């Protein structure tokens, strides 16, 4: 599952996942019937509108061993919210389909560490990096320090601690628009912490959160770029960006 945000806005992240997983010997497919996990609708309260989207999701991914996604938030949506939507739809077929698909959805770092059993993915990235654990990967999925273990094994990479790392960046989906002032106040504090680390790159497992913090860092001409974890793990010597 590449996710709608990555498909439309960050195709490089999706391509990085493909090249990384292939390098590790995984047979990767992109079912073209996929669209979105329905989280934008669910989290704004439009559960009825989410039903056909969840149906599209379970149809697209039926029959695969594992659904891997470069997003803690979308994995959390599939594992923890699809049941809610399906039950409200009153369709027992959808409830059953959701129960089959949900547990097979893995956030990228979970799949690498837990399923493939690797921490050193053979990446090379000679830059100073700080890591922001996104809320849904941290508190909904419980990915713990898996992303950090993966980053520590990247050759050339210097990982610096981000103070207040576990505090939300303020994106929150439609919260970023409906409560834009609070969202920006939260993101401003996160951006300040990031700049204080002296890192060149802010890395996270969700491009949505990175769009928000990165949008602030860019506006501030901060000289800090944001990158998805997958793109760093996919980078190799000679091809590093």
Residues 128-147 contacting other proteins, CB under 8 A:
135-136, 138-140
Cβ 39 to other proteins shortest distance, Å: 10
Cβ 3 to other proteins shortest distance, Å: 9
Beta-carbon contacts of residue 151 (< 8 Å; ≥ 6 apart)? 129, 131, 157, 159, 203, 229, 232
Q: Which backbone phi and psi does 52 adopt, to 5 degrees?
A: -65, -25
Q: Per-residue x/- mask for other proteins, residues 69 to 108, rule CB under 8 A?
A: ------------x--x---x--------------------
Cβ 159 to other proteins shortest distance, Å: 19
Answer for the pair 101, 78: CB distance below 8 angstroms, yes or no.
Answer: yes
Pick 159 or 222: Cβ nearer other proteins: 222
Our finding on whether 11 is near other proteins (CB under 8 A) is: yes
Our finding on whether 45 is near other proteins (CB under 8 A) is: yes
Window 212-231: residues binding other proteins (CB under 8 A): 212, 214-219, 222-227
Window 151-180: residues binding other proteins (CB under 8 A): 166-168, 170-180
Pick 151 or 210: Cβ nearer other proteins: 210
Our finding on whether 15 is near other proteins (CB under 8 A) is: yes
Answer for the pair 108, 68: CB distance below 8 angstroms, yes or no.
Answer: yes
C-alpha to C-alpha distance for 214 and 230, rounded to whole angstroms: 17
Q: How many CA atoms lie within 13 A of 183 on its CB side?
A: 16
Residues 1, 123, 201, 169, Cα dihedral to 10°: 40
Our finding on whether 28 is near other proteins (CB under 8 A) is: yes
Pick 48 or 120: Cβ nearer other proteins: 48
Q: Identify the residue among 1, 20, 26, 41 touching other proteins (CB under 8 A).
A: 41
Q: Identify the residue among 58, 60, 74, 199 touching other proteins (CB under 8 A).
A: 60
Our finding on whether 40 is near other proteins (CB under 8 A) is: yes
C-alpha to C-alpha distance for 132 and 146, rounded to whole angstroms: 13
C-alpha to C-alpha distance for 163 and 197, rounded to whole angstroms: 8
Cβ 229 to other proteins shortest distance, Å: 15
Our finding on whether 193 is near other proteins (CB under 8 A) is: no
Q: How many CA atoms lie within 13 A of 54 on its CB side?
A: 35
- Sign of CA pseudo-dihedral 144, 149, 154, 156: positive
């Amino acid at each position: 599952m590449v996710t709608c945000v990555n498909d439309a806005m960050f195709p490089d992240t999706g391509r990085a996942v493909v090249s990384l997983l292939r390098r590790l010997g995984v047979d990767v497919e992109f079912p073209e019937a996929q669209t979105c996990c329905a989280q934008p609708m669910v989290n704004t309260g439009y559960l009825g509108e989410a039903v056909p989207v969840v149906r599209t999701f379970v149809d697209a991914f039926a029959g695969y061993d594992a659904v891997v996604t470069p997003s803690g938030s979308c994995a959390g949506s599939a594992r923890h919210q699809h049941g809610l939507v399906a039950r409200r739809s009153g369709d027992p077929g959808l409830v059953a389909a959701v129960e089959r698909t949900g547990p097979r959805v893995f956030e990228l770092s979970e799949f690498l560490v837990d399923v493939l059993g690797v921490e050193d993915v053979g990446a090379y990235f000679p830059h100073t990096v700080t890591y922001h654990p996104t809320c849904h990967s941290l508190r909904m999925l419980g990915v713990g320090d898996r992303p950090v273990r993966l980053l520590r094994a990247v050759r050339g990479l210097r990982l610096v601690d981000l103070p207040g790392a576990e505090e939300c960046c303020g994106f929150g989906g439609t919260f970023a628009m409906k409560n834009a002032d609070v969202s920006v106040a939260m993101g401003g504090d996160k951006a300040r912490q990031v700049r204080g680390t002296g890192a060149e790159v802010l890395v996270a497992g969700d491009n949505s959160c990175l769009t928000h913090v990165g949008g602030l860092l860019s506006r501030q001409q901060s000289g800090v770029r944001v990158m998805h974890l997958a793109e760093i793990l996919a980078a190799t010597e000679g091809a590093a960006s």
